[in-house]
Every structure is written in C-alpha cells, then in structure tokens.
Structure 1
Amino acid sequence: MPQQESGKAIGPVSIKQLNAVCQRSTTLPSPRKRPTFLFKRLFEILVSKCNQSTRRKLGVPTSLLLVDSTTIMAGETRLPWAVFHGKRSGIKLHVAYDVVANMPTKVIETKATKHDGPIGEKLANPDFIIVENRAYGKIERFDTYAQQSQYFVIRIKENMTLVTPHSLQRQSVEGFSVTRDITCRLGTEQCRSEKRHRVVFFQDDHGHEIRVVTNLLHVSAEHIVAIYKARWGIEVFFRWIK
C-alpha cells in the first residue's frame, strides 16, 4: 500500500506500456518497489473487456454493479500513515462489483477515515444499474444520477422526508413483502430533490422496513426488491477477501 490515498487518477496507460512494465518488474530487487498501480490498471482493463464479452453473450444491456466499501484494520506500526482509531490503523477498499462477471471491476483504496459517498460517485458506471446502501443516499446525488441517465437502486434512511407522495398502481405478488410503491420528492425545504423519484418500501426477513429510492420506472416493485437484495453478493466477496 503506498503512503498516500491511491484514489487519484493515474492518467491513461496503454496495454503496450503495461506489458513493458510487467516484463521489467520481474527483475526488480523487491516487490515493494514494483509499480503496483500499473498492475491494478492492467487488471481493470482485462476485466472490462471480459465484462463486455459476457454482456454480449448473455444479451444483457445493463447488469448490476454493487458498490460498497470494507475497512481493513492493522497495527499502528504497520500503517503509521493511516491512523484510524486509537493506536490502530486502517484502510478502506471501495469496490464496484459486477454481478454478471462475479468479480470486482474497479477498486479504490483510501485511508479508513475517507467517507464512502464521494468515492462511490467515482465508481458509478452508466452501463450498469448501481446498487448501494444508506451510506451513499445523498439527495443531490439522486438528481445528478437521474440527469446523467445513471440507473440506481439505493437504500435511504427511515426518517427521510417524503414530499407529495403519489402511489403507483401495482398488483401484489406472492412471496414478496412490498408494502408501498410511490413517487415523490425527497428531503426538507432546506435540502430537497428537484426531481421526483420512485421509492419502494418492503420488509426484510426479520420484519424490518427497508426503503429504496430508484429511477427505474419500467420494472415492478418486486423486481426492485430483488435488485437490492442482490447487494448481498458484495458482502460475500468482502468476507472472502478478509
């Protein structure tokens, strides 16, 4: 891990340059001196090509991109530049995870104190429906994504104000716990969305209410619920890498 936040852009790097560096890196005296950011860029290029091929074969124009972060803790002596809590240090891995390819498409590493929201914007991709939890639920972000034609399904807090709600006509589907399906504006007078967004209410397996906001209007509320529940895939990935 370099002694700085590595979420900054490294500029365009060609495949030819990456290959040359990979060949030279085998002669370097220590792995610590190898240009890890170039290996990371090579991985991202290869995965992106794999994703394009996979989507063409399956005929799926838009798949799910799960965005979340996980914190990895370490002792102070190991990461003195990333002090997080007391004498412990930590880093965050901000991950964009492609459900179809079953692998991450992009990873940004930061200190553990970095907030998820701004980094999540860097992981957005209009070729996907992004699926995120409450840490990314900022009202201005919903309007921005709608303007950029970025499809999203994002959980919001239970106390978020819903303004001028309008119920959508829907039919109940057995096996799903959707309790409400509306469009509305979000937030208080001090901070309110300019656009109306769809909000789907449903209950989890323990009976707790979950609210998700989305700009997907052409699919059923049950489909929205299934999309959000797919977010569990990135949690499984985090458990595996830890």
Structure 2
Amino acid sequence: MEDIFNSAQFKFLFNLDTTQTIRHSSISERLSVINIEFFQQAYELTYNYFSTYYSRLQREQVRLIRVDSSMVAEAANKLIEGMNVGCKKDGKKQIKFTVAFDGDLPCMTKIFTNRKCLSEDTTIPQVVFDYARKDKSAIFTFDRGVGKRETFCRLSQQGTSFVTRINPKAKYKLVRELENGNNRLVGSLELIKELEVQLPKNRKEHWVFPEETFRLTITRHPEDGTEYWFLTNLFEIGVEEVLQYYKKRWDIEVFFRFLKQELNF
C-alpha cells in the first residue's frame, strides 16, 4: 500500500501533491482503528459500480455464480477465533473463506471459524442460499463437496438453478431417460446417457425418494474411461451448456490462486 500511494499513477489519479509521501507504519496505525464495516461497504460500492459498466450478464447471457471455499492459516496471536485443523501443533489457526464469484469479482463472502464448518456441505449452501435471495436469476455451480440431497431438493423447491457433480455410482431412482448418448463427443468427454432421476434422502435404514427430480448427465473420458456425473435442475438447456457451466467453475480456483500467490493471502 505504501508503494501504491507513493506511485506517480496513484497521485495523478487522485490529484495528490507529487511530493506527498506516506510510510507503512502510518498506514498500519490507521487501518487498526478503522471500523471493519467501512471495508465491506467500500467493496460493495466498488463492486456495484464496476458491475454497472462491466456486466458479465451481457457477455455470457447468464448470471453464473461460482461458489467454493479456501482455508487460510495464521499465527494464533493474530486470530481471536480459528480452527485447529489436523494434528499439527505449530500454533497456527485457520479460517475458512467461502466465496461467491461471478467471473470478474467476488459478489459475496462469508468467514467461518468453527470446526463444525470444515465440511463444504455446511458452508457452500449458506452462501448459495443467501445470494439466491439477492439474485433469483443466478445459476450456481459448485463442486461435489456439496453432497447432501436435502440441499439439492431445497434449491429446486425455491427455484434456484445449479450445476454440480456427484460421485459416480451414486444411488438414484430412474424417472425417465432423456437421451441415449451413444458415446458421442461433448467437448472432451463421451456422453453415455442423460436421465431424469430422483435422489434418496435417507441412506441408513431405508431409501426415501423426494418428489423433486433432477437431470443426471453421465459422461466418460475417452482415454482412461473415468466417468463424470453431472447433476442439475436445469432441463431446458443443452448438454453442452451443462458441461460448459461446470467447467467455468474453475474460474474461482484461478481466483484463489491469484489471491494466495500474488497478494500473499
């Protein structure tokens, strides 16, 4: 921040005296007393302003929101709350950031410090449901860390669209066959078949199948034979779009890598 403030570009942009300088100690002191809500409001204002002029909706024709989590470790003396993960005794605690990312910028972030929130089944749905209340037209894509069938059913019940993956050989009840893929190529994968299915709600004593149905797309890698199962509640789009939506989920992984490698996050 010191380098940015002292740069000629920053001073030109904000009409500052070219001789004006600042040191990192002064910045640190000011940051320590600023109300944290200021940063939240400043980011939301910047995001809304940016979105007005650079609308991904206009470019992609859909509002695709990628949701994922990343763990960040810090020394115990820097965190009042945090998770102790694993058996290491290095004095570090971790906090979990779960982010909704629109392809340009994060549009919602939640922080979790309780060990009960290690599971993605706990954290990702919270962000999805909260953001869906703000943007009912959004389509969410997330990885198979979210596996609770109750979550999928609840998303469908409230009209929230999603695309995800589930484990191959997951149990389901066939409603009807949508397409026999005949191993035709869709991108880099072979399409085996597409089905309309119901997913079980209880895995213990007996299987209970709620009335909500889903679209199950079963594909296979042509070289090694690995199967990839995609699940969505979108029935009106083509199989190519289903796979493309999930492929774009990778954008958030690239964003996390940028934060950690370039910003030392």
Could you say which TM-score interval applies, normalised by the shorter chain? 0.7 to 0.9
In percent, how many aligned pairs have the same letter? 23
SS at match of 1:168: strand
Q: Does the alignment pair 1:147 with 2:157?
A: yes
User: TM-score scaled by structure 2?
Assistant: 0.70
1:1-242 matches, cutoff 5 A:
29-51=29-51, 53-55=53-55, 58=58, 62-79=62-79, 81-85=81-85, 86-87=88-89, 88-99=92-103, 102-111=104-113, 113=115, 114=117, 115-124=119-128, 125=132, 126-169=136-179, 172-173=184-185, 175-177=187-189, 178-187=191-200, 188=203, 189-203=206-220, 207-242=225-260
- Give a deviation string over 1:26-49, Cα, whole Å, max 9, x none: 999542232123312331243245
Cα separation, 2, equivalents of 1:194 and 1:155: 20
Cα separation, 2, equivalents of 1:112 and 1:233: 27
Q: CA deviation at 1:80?
A: 5.6
SS at match of 1:180: strand
- Give a deviation string over 1:111-163, Cα, whole Å, max 9, x none: 27313333323322223110001122321111111121111001112242111
The structure-2 alpha-carbon separation of the partners of 1:148 and 1:39, relative to structure 1 and needing over 3 Å to count, comes to same
- Give a deviation string over 1:3-40, Cα, whole Å, max 9, x none: xxxxxxxxxxxxxxxxxxxxxxx999542232123312
Cα separation, 2, equivalents of 1:42 and 1:136: 31
Cα separation, 2, equivalents of 1:50 and 1:147: 32
SS at match of 1:149: coil
Aligned CA RMSD, in angstroms, stands at: 2.8
Contact 1:65 1:128 (C-alpha < 8 Å) held by counterparts: yes
Q: CA deviation at 1:55?
A: 3.9
Cα separation, 2, equivalents of 1:95 and 1:53: 22
Cα separation, 1, equivalents of 2:159 and 2:53: 23
Amino acid at match of 2:33: K
Larger radius of gyration: 2
SS at match of 2:71: strand
Structure 2 unpaired stretches of 5+: 1-25, 261-265
The structure-2 alpha-carbon separation of the partners of 1:112 and 1:161, relative to structure 1 and needing over 3 Å to count, comes to same
Contact 1:168 1:181 (C-alpha < 8 Å) held by counterparts: yes
Q: How many aligned positions are there?
A: 215
Structure 1 unpaired stretches of 5+: 1-25
The structure-2 alpha-carbon separation of the partners of 1:128 and 1:142, relative to structure 1 and needing over 3 Å to count, comes to same
The answer to which structure, 1 or 2, has the higher relative contact order (CA under 8 A, 6+ apart) is 1
Amino acid at match of 1:44: E
Cα separation, 1, equivalents of 2:98 and 2:187: 33
Cα separation, 2, equivalents of 1:141 and 1:64: 19
Cα separation, 1, equivalents of 2:100 and 2:152: 18
Cα separation, 1, equivalents of 2:57 and 2:235: 26
User: TM-score scaled by structure 1?
Assistant: 0.76
The structure-2 alpha-carbon separation of the partners of 1:218 and 1:138, relative to structure 1 and needing over 3 Å to count, comes to same
Q: CA deviation at 1:95?
A: 0.4
Q: CA deviation at 1:77?
A: 3.7
Cα separation, 2, equivalents of 1:215 and 1:174: 19
